[in-house]
Amino acid sequence: MRPVRQKQKPFRSQRYMNWVKTLPCSVCGTDQGCDPHHIKGNGFGGTVKPDDRLVMPLCREHHTDFHNHPYKRFDNRWSTNSEPGQLYFVRQTLLRARADSQLREDLITEAENML
């Protein structure tokens, strides 16, 4: 009988979430009232909120729009190079975190590997 592998607890960081709030909206670029949006669908979600590294800044308008429609609508609307919009925006946020030294390199690389 194989041993049961425990799921790793999702990474949580209020410091990182506060930093994401300071970034402009991934969609429109406004820097007014942005909140971290956790990725939905694409194999993420369910009963446990995804890892805090898997977020993108969204203004209130785009955050509300996202939650009022199926996630695939957002992903299709903002997709680039055949990559769903959410994945693209999360990657961009991680690149900015790397440039601004907001997370350790190993935490960023691990998050990139999750995508």
Query: What are the residue boundaries of the structural domains of the chain, listed by start?
Result: 14-114
pTM of the model: 0.86
Cross-strand partners of 44: 41
Strands of 1-115 (E only): list them: 34-38, 55-59
The pLDDT score that the predictor gives to residue 82 is 78
The pLDDT score that the predictor gives to residue 6 is 52
Who's near 111: CB < 8 A, 6+ residues apart?
11, 51, 53, 54, 94, 103
Going by C-alpha positions, the residue among 51, 52, 53, 74 that lies closest to residue 62 is 74
The pLDDT score that the predictor gives to residue 7 is 65
The predicted-structure confidence for 62-86, as pLDDT tens digits, reads as follows 999 999 998 899 999 998 877 899 9
The pLDDT score that the predictor gives to residue 42 is 66
Do the Cβ atoms of 42 and 2 come closer than 8 Å?
no
Q: Map residue 44 onto helix, strand or coil.
A: strand
The pLDDT score that the predictor gives to residue 43 is 63
**Separation of alpha carbons 24 and 35, rounded Å:** 9
CATH of 14-114, one of 3.30.40, 2.30.29, 1.10.287, 1.10.1200: 3.30.40
Residues of the chain where predicted confidence (pLDDT) is lower than 70: 1-7, 42-47
**Residue 12: φ, ψ to 5°:** -130, 135
